[in-house]
Structure 1
Amino acid sequence: MIIRKSKFAVKGLRYNIRTAIHGDSSYLSEVRLQIDGETENMDRERGEAFLDKSGLEDIIKLDSEHSKALFLVVEVKDRIVGFSRCVGNDLKRTKHRVEFGVCILKNYWGYGMGKNLLKETIFWADSIGIKKIELNVLETNESAIELYKSFGFEIEGVLKYDKLLSDGKYYNTIVMGRINQHVL
């Protein structure tokens, strides 16, 4: 799905949030690879499940054509520094819900990008009648958990010993969901 471009200014940094387009694929591939190496909050380590330009072009095309998919990018001075993706399906039993994920380059944490990507996604989901947004977050990512709670997400469960991190310890994944009460 395609949405309008939104402009933001936070702590002196100006950035745009817009729908991903065909020409973004090589930048997105690089950003995704860099983000995977900057934090253990992601499911992947750097280079795992690598998506090249062609693979991302396919995803962008599919998402732009599917009514229950939203692929957003964050741009600072025409450079992509983060993205989010929200995807659903048309199966009768699960077409009421979508799954959300977000990635921001570490140098751009603290500028409200994740918050604004989430706001845009919630507005989109609510406007098309999505009843539930789901997401997974690592238990140690306390700031993200608090952000999601502030937007009405609730903890629905815990996947115990779900991630093995570089310290050799296992960590839990928190499963969260937001129900749109207006469309129930």
Structure 2
Amino acid sequence: MRDTLSGEKVTIRAHMPAHVAPLFAAVEESISDLAPYETWCHPGYTKTEAAEYVDWWRQSWEKGRAHYFAIECSSTGDYLGSCGLSELLKEHKRASMGFWLRSSRTGEGLATDAARMVARFGFEDLGLERIEIESAVHNAASRRIAEKLGAKLEGILRKRLILPTGPTDTAMYSLMRDSNASV
């Protein structure tokens, strides 16, 4: 199973201890953009929390429960964010995809490129048939990424997430192994 994939703009690699400090810096820069949509991200986020996430991602990878990648700039190696697959249901060949990108690098297509590579990893390396992308209905940036990947909107799920703003409806998108030519 591959732990590193490279593209023209981004390289994705399994998280490692060296990612703790750059992860912390990226989150610290992006709190105002991430906190409304991510329960783990909050004002006062600490380096200890960043280390705990990297450790969790590594343990989950080793146990086959989740596969999260650091997104790095291919030309500079800078840490840009994270993208991965979790909620793996091996017997149903299904997983959920999540992603985020540091605020200073949004709008360049980097998250879409990383998500495309993670989807390929899911289909080719993990043998998945279905990848779900669920986003708060008002998170236009995440929904745009799902649409750029060619994911199909399946519906709106009412009060599906409890975010800092309260119960939130989500848009459920799906990518299928055989029907997503852009992945």
1:12 is aligned to none
TM-score by length of 2: 0.74
Deviation string, structure 1 residues 4-50 (Cα, Å, up to 9, x no partner):
341424xxxxx533222222123223423443322455233524887
Q: 2:35 aligned with 1:36, yes or no?
A: no
Percent identity of paired positions between Structure 1 and Structure 2 = 14
| Counterpart code for 2:173 | M
State whether residues 132 and 174 of structure 2, in contact with CA within 8 Å, keep that contact through their aligned partners in structure 1: yes
Q: 2:93 aligned with 1:114, yes or no?
A: no
1:149 is aligned to 147
1:19-168 correspondence runs (5 A): 19-39=14-34, 42-44=37-39, 46-47=42-43, 52-67=49-64, 69-76=66-73, 77-89=76-88, 92=91, 94=92, 96-127=93-124, 128-161=126-159
Task: Report how far residue 69 of structure 1 moved.
Answer: 2.9
Could you tell me which runs of 5 or more consecutive residues in structure 2 were left unpaired when the two chains were aligned: none
Instruction: Provide closer, same or farther for how the CA distance between residues 91 and 181 of structure 1 changes in structure 2, counting only shifts above 3 A.
Output: closer
Distance 1:54 1:134 in 2: 27
Instruction: Provide closer, same or farther for how the CA distance between residues 181 and 117 of structure 1 changes in structure 2, counting only shifts above 3 A.
Output: same
State whether residues 14 and 58 of structure 2, in contact with CA within 8 Å, keep that contact through their aligned partners in structure 1: no
Structure with the greater relative contact order (CA < 8 A, sep ≥ 6): 1 or 2? 2
Distance 1:91 1:132 in 2: 11
Distance 1:145 1:104 in 2: 14
| Counterpart code for 1:87 | S
State whether residues 36 and 163 of structure 2, in contact with CA within 8 Å, keep that contact through their aligned partners in structure 1: no
Could you tell me which runs of 5 or more consecutive residues in structure 1 were left unpaired when the two chains were aligned: 10-14
| Counterpart code for 2:49 | D
RMSD: 3.1
How many residues align? The count is 173
Distance 1:170 1:64 in 2: 30
| Counterpart code for 1:62 | Q
Distance 2:64 2:164 in 1: 36
| Counterpart code for 1:142 | A
State whether residues 97 and 132 of structure 1, in contact with CA within 8 Å, keep that contact through their aligned partners in structure 2: yes
The DSSP-based 3-state class of the residue aligned with 1:52 is: helix
